[in-house]
Amino acid sequence: MPERLLIDHCSPTLAGLKTGNMFPVNVGPGQDICDELRQLNRLLREKGIRVVMLRRNGKKALVYLYRPDYLDRDLRCPAMGDEVLEESEFDPMFTDVEPALAGKKIALFGSYGWGDGQWMRDWEDRCREAGAELAADSVIANEAPGDEETELCKGLGAALA
Ligand SMILES: Cc1cc2nc3c(=O)[nH]c(=O)nc-3n(C[C@H](O)[C@H](O)[C@H](O)COP(=O)(O)O)c2cc1C
Query: What is the pLDDT averaged over residues 80-87?
Result: 91
**Which residues constitute the domain of residue 49?**
3-70
Atom of ligand 1 nearest to the CA of 142: 21
**Ligand 1 pocket, residue 89 CB under 6 Å:** no
The number of angstroms, rounded, from the C-alpha of 138 to the middle of its chain's C-alpha atoms is 16
Is residue 161 very low, low, confident or very high in pLDDT (cuts 50, 70, 90)? confident
Give the DSSP per-residue string, 43-80: HHGGGT-EEEEEEEETTEEEEEEE-HHHHHHHH--BEE
In this structure, the residue with its CA closest to atom 15 of ligand 1 is 113
Q: What is the mean pLDDT of the chain?
A: 93
User: Of the residues 21, 44, 70, which one is the last residue of a structural domain?
Assistant: 70
- Same structural domain for residues 80 and 152? yes
- Same structural domain for residues 102 and 151? yes
- Same structural domain for residues 98 and 144? yes
- Same structural domain for residues 85 and 130? yes
- Same structural domain for residues 104 and 144? yes
**CB proximity list for 85: less than 8 A, separation 6 or greater:** 77, 79, 91, 94, 119, 123
pTM: 0.77
**CB proximity list for 20: less than 8 A, separation 6 or greater:** 13, 64, 65, 66, 67, 70, 71
In this structure, the residue with its CA closest to atom 4 of ligand 1 is 80
Write the pLDDT tens digit of every residue in 55-79.
999 899 999 999 999 998 888 778 8
- Same structural domain for residues 109 and 137? yes
- Same structural domain for residues 38 and 112? no
- Same structural domain for residues 17 and 87? no
